[in-house]
Structure 1
Amino acid sequence: MESFIIEAKAVTYVSSKVPAPMATRIGATDIPYEKGRFRYLDSYYGGTDFLGQEVVWDDTTPVWAMNYYGRILDAERFDGGRAGTVIKQALTALYQEKRFLGGFTYLHPLGEYVDQSVGDYRSFLGVERIRMGERVVYQLDYQGGLIKP
């Protein structure tokens, strides 16, 4: 399942996949992906400051999920467009390592991306940040893991 999660993450938001025309919840943006018996959905609200959830189903049973809240911390020096550029490039590099958790740093001309987490895909907690010099200009907190009946 972990390899499916990484694949789904890599081909949805990070690759700029076009969102579904009809969201599952009013006001949300949904980006789905399916392969074999697994289905994935990244569903979020907002733009510069945003909240979302990713879920994986095995057929019709939800088996994994994570939630996240991200925000711009210094709107005078940084914006959502810059954050998206840095995040997409950093996560593309991370997913190429066949993982989505663990310590990771990516240097980009717009800022330094740093991800820190504990746990593995079964149960995890983490934070991603973008720094400009010593100043944190963006932060996203996330958590998730397996869903059991």
Structure 2
Amino acid sequence: MGDLKAFIWKVKKSIYAENADHYVQGGLRHTTFKDGFYHFENQEIGHRYYSGHEVIYKKDEPIWTMVYSGGILNDDIGEKRLLSFLRRALVEEERTNILRGPSFYQEEHLLYLNEFYGGIDRFSGREYIRFGTHIIYELHYSGGLLD
């Protein structure tokens, strides 16, 4: 499972930094990433509020999945600033959860929190961003290994 974890971390660093290949079709944003025997596909719809589905294939067989849904709750700091902060949190190196961001990340008055349960085989979580006392972004996710 170590090589799957390494692949997931490589994918996340690439897509959160906006370096992954993608195209838009029928309103869905498709993102792909390949490395060795592994292939990642993500389909996402929406903008400020969005939902998506990630699948990892090994030798063309689906082995892992994650679904997610959430988004921006208000414009206290502006969409561009919020999404830029979120990207920095998601690629933060010091963490144990490779599926989204770290448990805690802060810059000035912005605080990213990730509540994560389970392991790579079965998991669920919630990430959110606070600006002062207000929650301005929230996303729920779940998934795991496929049988």
Report the TM-score, using the length of structure 2 for normalisation. Answer: 0.87
Aligned residue number for residue 62 of structure 2: 62
Preserved CA contact (<8 Å) 1:86 1:110: no
Q: CA deviation at 1:54?
A: 1.1
Aligned residue number for residue 11 of structure 2: 8
1:86-105 matches, cutoff 5 A = 86-94=85-93, 97=95, 99-101=97-99, 104-105=103-104
CA 1:18/1:117 → structure 2, altered by over 3 Å: closer, same or farther? closer
> C-alpha separation between the residues in 2 aligned to 1:114 and 1:29?
26
CA 1:52/1:91 → structure 2, altered by over 3 Å: closer, same or farther? same
Question: Which has the larger displacement, 107-116 or 47-56?
Answer: 107-116
How big is the alpha-carbon RMSD for the aligned residues of Structure 1 and Structure 2?
2.0
2:17 alignment partner AA: S
Aligned residue number for residue 20 of structure 1: 22
> C-alpha separation between the residues in 1 aligned to 2:50 and 2:62?
23
Aligned residue number for residue 44 of structure 1: 44
CA 1:103/1:72 → structure 2, altered by over 3 Å: closer, same or farther? same
1:100 alignment partner AA: I
2:30 alignment partner AA: D
> C-alpha separation between the residues in 2 aligned to 1:11 and 1:147?
23
Larger fraction in strand: 2
Asked whether 1:74 is paired with 2:74, we answer yes
Runs of 4+ in 1 over 3 A off after TM superposition: 96-99
Aligned residue number for residue 116 of structure 2: 117
Q: CA deviation at 1:110?
A: 5.8
CA 1:99/1:71 → structure 2, altered by over 3 Å: closer, same or farther? closer
Question: Which has the larger displacement, 115-124 or 101-110?
Answer: 101-110
Aligned-pair identity (%): 25
How many pairs are equivalent? Answer: 143
Preserved CA contact (<8 Å) 1:72 1:79: no
* Partner SS, residue 23 of structure 2: coil
